Each structure stands twice: as structure tokens, then as C-alpha cells.
Amino acid sequence: MSSRVKPLLTEENKKARIQFCLSLIKPNREFEDLYDHVHIDEKWFYLMEEKRSYYLMNDEGPPLRACKSKRFITKVMFLAAVARPRYDPHRKQYFDGKIGLWPFVLKEPAKRNSKNRPKGTMITKPVESVNTAVVKKMLVENVLPSIRSKFPRFYKHAPIYIQQDNAGPHSYHYDEELLMECSKEGRDIEIKSQPPNSPDFNVLDLGFFNSIQSLQHHSSPKTIGELIECVIGAFNSSDKEKLNNVFLTFQTCMESAMLVAGGNQYKMQRMGKEKLSREGRLPVTITCSENSILKANESLNT
């Protein structure tokens, strides 16, 4: 048995989690299908793992993996945006839900000569401080244009919700430039925050980032450019069915949280998604039990 450290929740956090869950439940006790939601989040990806396993032949030695300091392994932060996969009848093709993945990097000329490149060569460097201005620029230049171009056309005049966590750099909700960009081309795009201290309520933190990282670790990049190429390649090659399954897991997590008064001390529910998918019986949404809704409302009233 393994145990993971989870965020410490206050009573206000638990209340916010319950209210968030109830807001996504329809009168028939089914969760919303979440087809109009886009989840975004940031994550660090490292050039190498500190510890890695290899399968070797009897006469083969382990590869050399070295860096100047294990405390300062080269890393790049990425921002990912995903939606729920579904068939797009207007384009007559399947929408895989992958809005995009973008690194926080900048290019600048090398200040001096080295054995790797002459002075003045443009080199890629990770952004050291990802603050509100940097994240807002990423939204305006990359995320929102990608949503407008990739999202199914049915939502051209329907509301789309971008869900993010409560990190400090995400404090741009009422920025006029960003609001204008959200309404560009007649779109109705709204940015909202998930409950505080709730990574289990974001599909990227819940499992899709792990799927990308496991694919990325199949390669061995040596430079920042190779790392970016590997991570984006892993994102593009990740299974769209897994992304859809994580959205269902997100719904089961919300129901489990309601059963424990908004807490996060619950076991993940297993529903055999792969088997149900093979048999063509995988549900679009989860139906909440009457007990979970009753306990959620009792928790709010007490």
C-alpha cells in the first residue's frame, strides 16, 4: 500500500468543493457532460529523472547520466489546455480534445563564445519567473486562439468555460484586454477557478499530465530544445481515450468528495472504463447517488 500527501483543506475549502460539485449536477442527478469546459494548468518537465530504471543485457553497462548538480536539473514549465474528446459533426471528424501545450521559454543571443556555438547565436532559455503577465500573454497569444480554431463549431456562439487553479499568477480574471480577447469573434469564453487546494478537480493534475510524462520519459533529451520537442511529441501522441477516461474519473472524484463532506480522504472509484469502452457501454456522465447529494447538502447546512 502506498500513501500520497494531499493538500490540507480548511472548512471553507471543503464548503467550496461541495458547492463546486453541486453546481455541475443536473436535476436528474447526472453530472454535466463537461463538453463546454477547457482545463488548463502548468507543470514542470525535467531534462532527466534523478533515478531511472533500465533493462540491460548481461554484458551491457548502465548508460552514463551526469549533470553538475542533482538539485538544479534543467527544467521547463509548460502550460497545457485540454477539453473532452468528442465527434465534431460540422467538420465530420473526431475532436481529440488536445487544445495545445506550450513552453514558457524565450530566445536570446548568446553573450559569449563556447565550444557549442559562437557568440550571437539565438539560444532557447526557460522563463525564470512565470508571473501573471507571462501567463496572461500565453492565454492571449496561444490558448484563446487555439480554442477558437480547434473547438467544435457548435460552440461558436455557446459559452465555453476555461477552468484553472487558484495559483497566484492566475489573478487576471477582470483584465480588460483579456476579457476583450475572450469575446473576440463573438465568442463567449469565461475563465473560472476551481476550488482552492483541489488538484483532484482538474483533469490534467488528476492523470493526464502523468500520461504525458510517462511517454516523455521514453526519450533521452540532451538540450532544452530536445526536451520541448519530446514533451510536445508525447502530448500529441497521447491517447484521446485516456483523456476521455480522466474526465469520467473527475466526475467520480467529485461524487466521492461529496460523500466525505468535501474532503479529499477518499479512495478512487473503479468502474472498468477500458472494458466498458470495448463493450460500447462507457457512459458519457456519472449519475450521483441520492446519498451523496444528501450528504453534500447536510454538510453545507452544518
The per-residue pLDDT for 40 is: 97
Domains of the chain and CATH, by start: 11-49+69-301 (3.30.420.10)
Beta strand 159-164 pairing with 86-88: unpaired
The per-residue pLDDT for 2 is: 67
The per-residue pLDDT for 1 is: 57
The per-residue pLDDT for 256 is: 96
The per-residue pLDDT for 114 is: 79
pTM of the predicted structure, to 2 decimals: 0.91
Distance CA 195, CA 209 (A): 19
The per-residue pLDDT for 12 is: 96
The per-residue pLDDT for 18 is: 97
Phi, psi dihedrals of residue 251, rounded to the nearest 5°: -70, -40
Total Cβ atoms within 10 A of residue 62: 9
In sequence order, the 6+-apart residues with CB closer than 8 A to the CB of 279 are none
The per-residue pLDDT for 198 is: 96
92: alpha, beta or left, given left = phi > 0 and alpha = psi -120 to 50?
A: left
In tens digits, the chain (302 residues) has pLDDT values of 567 788 999 999 999 999 999 999 999 999 999 999 999 999 999 887 767 676 778 877 777 776 776 667 889 999 999 999 999 999 999 999 999 999 999 988 888 887 777 888 888 889 988 999 999 999 999 999 999 999 998 888 899 999 999 988 888 777 888 999 999 999 999 999 999 999 999 999 998 998 888 888 778 888 899 999 999 999 999 999 999 999 999 999 999 999 999 999 998 888 899 899 999 999 999 999 999 999 999 999 88
Distances (CA, A) of 84 to 51, 67, 180: 34, 39, 25
The per-residue pLDDT for 13 is: 96
